[in-house]
Amino acid sequence: MNSTIVEQIKDRLDIVDIIRQYVPDLKRAGKTFKACCPFHHEKTPSFTCNNEKGLFYCFGCQAGGDVFDFVMRMENIPFNEALEKLAGLAGVEYKPQQPSSAEEQRRAGARKALDFAKTFYHKNLLSAAGSHARAYVKQRNLTKETCVKFELGLSATTDFTALIRAARAAGYSEQDLKEAGLCAQTSYGLRDYFRNRLMFPILNQRGDTVGFGGRILGEGEPKYLNSPETVLFTKSHVLYGLNFAGPAIRKAGRAVLLEGYMDVIGCHQAGVDYTVAPLGTSLTEQHAQLLKRYSENVILLFDPDAAGIKAALRGSLILISKGLFVKVASLPDGLDPDEFIAQRGKEAFEQILNQAEELIAFHTRQQLARYPQPLSAQHKTHVVTELAEVITQQPDAIVRREWAKYVAEQIGVDESLVLARIQRQVRQVPPQGGNLPVAPAPANTAEEDLLAWLLCAPDQIGLCEDLAETDFSSAGAYRLFASIRQHAQAGLTGQALLEKAGAEVPSLRKELFKLAFVQTPADFQPARDIAACTAKIKQNGVQKRLKEVQRQMKVLGAGNVPQELIKEYMLLQTKLKK
């Protein structure tokens, strides 16, 4: 059943359209589309996808596959979840199967328990017992519609096992609750993890509930408490509000990073719906990767105190190192975003965003504030050294040069001195991506061409079907050929041939996808070119065997070489002369 559904999904979805949702800068390049790879950092685009073949491949990190492979890797989800997501996008009816593996069962149980808890908490907020929480929400200027949209809730005020008992009555096991991070073992027994808190369901970018955040109502510490990390929830991988903000970020062409739940909710209520926030943790590379799927432009809105400035400085470097273009802004009078909007309106808030400071200007201003003016020569050295570290994080060469020019002007030194300091910093930083995995590949051009041409013209397989493993430079190259030959002889072509051949040699699937993106020459003639490649490979096989025979003869020594080996040597020499 799944195989039929998979084929229907692939028929209905254009892989380019799906990938563009995550890689907005995807651009046409002939018959294919190219962009910088979303799976590793690079300056020159090496990521390619083709809607006719339904495949993607990165020539930098060797990631490749079909639309399912892309979504699984991009979303970090198993196949069944990717199937469910893509079936929805394709309008294909799909009823998820019962999870089979222990890991899938853990995830499914936790997910259902979280959804139950979300409904439980939300009903509690709207009940008579939730009046004090509703009063707090009203004080924060949130409407009932907003509370419903974000599914805000309330954990029980005095009953330490309210959720546990309700979940058990609904058929959830203690293990489900523990896997979901909804309860904790204490010296008094099992207790609800959250108590007397305004509850914020945490949804991932796909809209799945993965955890909760809770704000204490009244006295108590900590003020905010997040779910513990679980099989579904890693807080450094989630941005609050992204499930709602994703389309708005693409439309606005920018994302705004705030500090907390209420900031995001208040902004969305006011119509500034391209805002998100990390979950009480520092920005991470995973956050940067998430944002880059929607836009390469990010504004950091930070608190102008020492801690806020430090966080903005650190976070901005992580974002630019992943290829994002960052600006920074702050609000006056110590106001939070929701407070500012409530007092001065959406337009005033967006005006501050529109006037956000360029990142290098922000970093330069912070460095200059550390030293008395005018700067001494020693202080200039310190400032340039610090700012050179910032500039080296910028992967775009043009922006990097402009930043160097700006710093030189602001500090009052020659631009060449700034560039020299940047070069020194670059030499000290190990190159990124230096340990990228290398996929097994045909060792010579003739093998690569033959395999690529056969994918284009499998009907010509008869010209080379007698090639043997000894003709190829490696076992991997021959396995690819044998797989293509098998399915070409069965009459398969195009994507069906690729998929069947890839299933035959799963360890070489990426290499197969790479071959599928090899461009045919302008004067490509399948019969002529495949025959020529076949002859070359056979000749290479003869040369390889001749070297082995010569090695054996040398080891045996004059007078000890068997007559059969001498005959083979002479036959091989004759074949090479033809």
Return d(Cα 166, Cα 187) in angstroms, integer.
21
CB atoms within 10 A of CB 150: 21
Please indicate, yes or no, whether residues 351 and 468 belong to a single structural domain of this protein.
Answer: no
Averaged pLDDT, 377-391: 92
- Cα dihedral 141, 142, 144, 145, rounded to 10, equals 130
Tell me how far apart the alpha carbons of residues 295 and 239 are, in angstroms, rounded to a whole number: 14
Q: Does residue 438 form part of some domain?
A: no
96 in a domain, yes or no?
A: no
Those residues whose C-beta lies under 8 Å from the C-beta of residue 261, and which sit 6 or more positions away, are 200, 213, 215, 224, 240, 277
Taking the CA atoms of 288, 289, 294 and 295 in sequence, report the sign of the dihedral they define.
positive
Q: Is 95 inside a domain boundary?
A: no
Q: Look at residue 110 in the predicted model and tell me its pLDDT.
A: 93
CATH of the domain at 330: 3.40.1360.10
Percent of the chain's residues with pLDDT above 90: 45
Query: Which domain-ending residue is among 216, 233, 250?
Result: 233
**Same-domain status, 244 and 228:** no
**Mean pLDDT to the nearest integer, 13-42:** 87
Q: What pLDDT score was predicted for residue 243?
A: 92
Query: Can you give the pLDDT at residue 427?
Result: 59
CATH code, domain carrying 168: 3.90.980.10
CA pseudo-torsion sign 463, 468, 469, 474: negative
Where does the pLDDT of residue 136 fall: very low under 50, low under 70, confident under 90, or very high at 90 and above? very high
pLDDT value, residue 102: 79
Q: Are 362 and 312 in contact (CB under 8 A)?
A: yes
Alpha carbon distance 225, 177 (integer Å): 17
Please give, one letter per residue, the 3-state secondary structure of 341-380. HHHHCHHHHHHHHHCCEEHHHHHHHHHHCCCCCCCCHHHH
Question: If you average pLDDT over residues 133-156, what whole number do you get?
Answer: 95
Q: Is there a single domain that holds both residue 293 and residue 377?
A: no
- What pLDDT is stored for residue 433 in this prediction? 42
The domain boundary, picked from 329, 355, 381, lies at: 355
Q: How many domains does the chain have?
A: 5
User: Rounded CA gap, 178 and 185, in Å?
Assistant: 9
d(CA 145, CA 325): 34
pLDDT score of 3: 66
Does residue 216 form part of some domain?
A: yes
285-332 pLDDT tens trace: 889 988 987 888 999 998 887 788 888 888 999 999 888 999 999 999
192 in Cβ contact with 182 (< 8 Å):
yes
In contact, 397 and 43? CB cutoff 8 Å: yes
For the cut 80, the answer to whether the pLDDT of residue 428 exceeds it is no
Q: In sequence order, which residues have a C-beta less than 8 Å from that of residue 439 and are 6 or more positions away? A: 62, 508, 510, 511, 514
- CATH code assigned at 9: 3.90.580.10
Residue 138: inside a domain: yes
pLDDT score of 431 more than 60: no
Q: Are residues 279 and 326 in the same domain?
A: yes
Q: Please, what is the angle between helix 397-411 and helix 359-368, to 10°?
A: 30
| 107 and 202 both lie in a single domain | yes
Three-state SS annotation for 180-193 = CCCEEEECCEEEEC
What confidence score (pLDDT) does residue 435 get?
Answer: 41
Q: Are residues 259 and 368 in the same domain?
A: no
On whether residue 560 sits in a domain, the answer given is yes
* Average pLDDT score over residue span 383-390: 91
Residues 397 and 372 in one domain: yes
Lowest mean pLDDT among 128-132, 151-155, 198-202, 573-577: 573-577
Say what the pLDDT of residue 438 is.
Answer: 38
In a domain, 313, yes or no: yes
Q: Is 70 found in the same domain as 29?
A: yes
At 76-119, the pLDDT tens digits run 777 888 888 898 888 888 876 665 677 778 888 999 999 999 99
Is the same domain home to 192 and 112? yes
Given a cut of 70, is residue 430 above it in pLDDT? no
Q: Considering the domain boundaries, does residue 436 fall inside one? A: no
Please check the confidence at residue 227 and state whether its pLDDT lies above 90.
Answer: yes
Give the mean pLDDT of the chain: 88
Beta bridge partners of 35: 47
Q: How far is CA 62 from CA 416, 438, 440, 513, in A?
A: 38, 7, 10, 9
What range defines the domain where residue 207 resides?
102-233
Examine the domain organization and report whether 197 and 302 are in the same domain.
Answer: no
Q: Considering only CA atoms, give the Rg of the chain.
A: 30
For residue 436, the model assigns a pLDDT of 39
Percent of the chain, pLDDT > 70?
95
Which of the listed residues 385, 402, 428 is the one where a domain comes to its end?
428
Same domain for 296 and 321, yes or no, is yes
Q: Does residue 206 sit in the same domain as residue 323? A: no
